Amino acid sequence: MNINNKKSLHEIACGIDFGTSNTTVAIANNLDTSIILVPVEDHHVTIPSTIFFQSDSPSALFGRQALNAYIGREEGRFMRSFKRVLGTSLMKEGTTISGRQTQFEAIIGPFIAHVKNKAELLADKDINAVVAGRPVHFVDGNDKADLAAESQLKSIFSEAGFKEISFQYEPIAAAFAHELAMGDKERLAVVMDIGGGTSDFTIMRLSGRYIQKLDRKDDILANAGIRIGGNDFDRTLSLACFMPLLGMGSLWGAKGLNFPLTPFFDLAELSKIQCMYTRKYKRDLNALIKQSTNKTLTQRLQFVVEEELGHSLMASVEDSKINLSSNEQTLADLSFIETGLQSECSRNQFEDSLYANLASIIDTINACVLQAGITADAIGLVILTGGGTAIPVIQKLTRQLFPEAEIADGNRLSSVGFGLACDARRYYLNSH
């Protein structure tokens, strides 16, 4: 990021980590050196990146409130993981909300404006300057789409009222947050940020001595990222342990073929769930189910789609995934689908389902090490951040990849937002 003469213009600035799953905001001001994480929803410093458009109201609900409205089966449209749409063709296509064609700018925009407003309420001031987090790649292997995603996000922040907008890679921000508590010794660190939508990595020289340093370009050895994250882990767990209960793998038609897989894959993919609720999709699915051999199972699938319970099912899957970080076995209550229905998942099943995703994540980390021109044993410190780094098999792989390194896991869900505000101070304020 270029440091220029914007510093004297601002008394206050913020960092916003707009995440696929959770969003945080932190503020820095010119009066003191503290960084404050903003309570963005009640006392919570994280807000789920969700929105609920109520059918009978022009205003929207955000975060846990949106989730509760959806789970409470209020009339309206629930959306999550909208960060994943940036840079994709869906940005142009938009989606239908309450019968009206709506662009994603009109979905992400109010969410960003909502968290900006929370920061301004706390600061009791307008905040015009922001450092926004971004993944290393919004979209894999497509530089044009990546640039488009950043520019779309920039317009959205601008529309929300920010006048100065800069971007920083999310793992670099997490490194800055960690650096605040470091001593003067220089460490070669890798940051591993495994979030809901992407896994991002940075290799960087860190030291408490560098906090005041304005230009960190020379300290950053490599960045790499891949569009795999917790949403993908939810998908593989859903396909392994939940979808078989809804008929995946059962037989279909007179010739004894397998029931087509598409509805199960759609139901396991957050961004596809809403597409299953059109009249045509429901009609086609009902026709498929007529020829199903095991109707006890496939009628559950029909019920979930008819009653639009896809996001509730994904919430159960996500809960199971999170439980498996601290338990070998977990039981999900699916009585909202059928009385007494449960899904039992083991950590082994989950880890097996992750195989392909983990292989891609390891390849990306190895590419990052290669790009840095070092070998893995030169890394002295691994900083883990992002919810996905709580998964035991990911921690085990980290120890295998970097056997010599100290492993630090700070505040998984808020270190990026905190670090973005450190950057905002460096960039916009005089008090660094």
- For binding to ligand ATP (CB under 6 A), which residues are involved? 19-22, 83, 170, 195-198, 229-231, 318, 321-322, 325, 386-388, 390-391, 413
Dihedral sign, Cα of residue 98, residue 103, residue 106, residue 112: positive
Residue 135 binds Mg ion, judged by CB under 5 A:
no
Alpha-carbon Rg for the chain, nearest whole angstrom, is: 22
The burial class, CB within 10 Å (0-12 / 13-18 / 19+), for 326 is exposed
The separation between CA 28 and the C-alpha centre of its own chain, rounded to angstroms, equals: 24
Minimum CB distance to Mg ion smaller for 19 or for 76: 19
Of 365, 325, 369, 367, the C-alpha closest to 345 is: 325
Residue 87 binds which entry of Mg ion, ligand ATP, none, CB below 5-8 Å type-dependent? none
Residue 76 binds which entry of Mg ion, ligand ATP, none, CB below 5-8 Å type-dependent? none
Minimum CB distance to Mg ion smaller for 230 or for 263: 230
Using CB under 5 A, pick the residue from 15, 76, 195, 263 that binds Mg ion.
195
H-helix or E-strand spanning residue 318: helix 310-323
CB of 257 to ligand ATP, least distance (A): 34
Residue 263 binds which entry of ligand ATP, Mg ion, none, CB below 5-8 Å type-dependent? none
User: Which single residue brings its beta carbon nearest to Mg ion?
Assistant: 195
Minimum CB distance to Mg ion smaller for 195 or for 247: 195
Using CB under 5 A, pick the residue from 12, 15, 19, 51 that binds Mg ion.
19
Secondary structure of residue 267 in the 3-state scheme: helix
Residue 21 binds which entry of Mg ion, ligand ATP, none, CB below 5-8 Å type-dependent? ligand ATP
Tokens 């009640």, residue located: 42
CB of 190 to Mg ion, least distance (A): 16
Minimum CB distance to Mg ion smaller for 138 or for 252: 138
Other Cβ atoms within 10 Å of 30 Cβ, number: 17
Minimum CB distance to ligand ATP smaller for 315 or for 367: 315
CB of 46 to ligand ATP, least distance (A): 7
Q: Which stretch binds Mg ion (CB under 5 A): 15-23, 116-124, 228-236, 290-298?
A: 15-23
Q: Which stretch binds Mg ion (CB under 5 A): 97-105, 174-182, 193-201, 301-309?
A: 193-201
Tokens 């404050």, residue located: 36
Q: How far apart are the first and last CA of the chain?
A: 16
User: In degrees to the nearest 10, what's the CA dihedral of 247, 253, 258, 264?
Assistant: -40
Beta bridge partners of 165: 130
Tokens 């994250």, residue located: 229
Minimum CB distance to Mg ion smaller for 166 or for 231: 231
Distance CA 203, CA 188 (A): 7
Minimum CB distance to Mg ion smaller for 74 or for 150: 150
Residues 6+ apart with CB under 8 A from 186: 205, 206, 207, 209, 210
Distance CA 323, CA 332 (A): 10
CB of 17 to ligand ATP, least distance (A): 6
Contact 266, 275 (CB under 8 A): yes
User: In degrees to the nearest 10, what's the CA dihedral of 423, 164, 229, 74?
Assistant: 130
Residue 388 binds which entry of ligand ATP, Mg ion, none, CB below 5-8 Å type-dependent? ligand ATP
Residues 6+ apart with CB under 8 A from 307: none
Distance CA 380, CA 187 (A): 6
Contact 340, 287 (CB under 8 A): no
Minimum CB distance to ligand ATP smaller for 247 or for 388: 388
The 68-107 contact track toward Mg ion, x by CB under 5 A, reads: ----------------------------------------
Minimum CB distance to Mg ion smaller for 119 or for 285: 119
Q: Which stretch binds Mg ion (CB under 5 A): 17-25, 297-305, 360-368, 370-378?
A: 17-25
CB of 363 to ligand ATP, least distance (A): 18
Applying CB under 5 A, which residues contact Mg ion? 19, 195
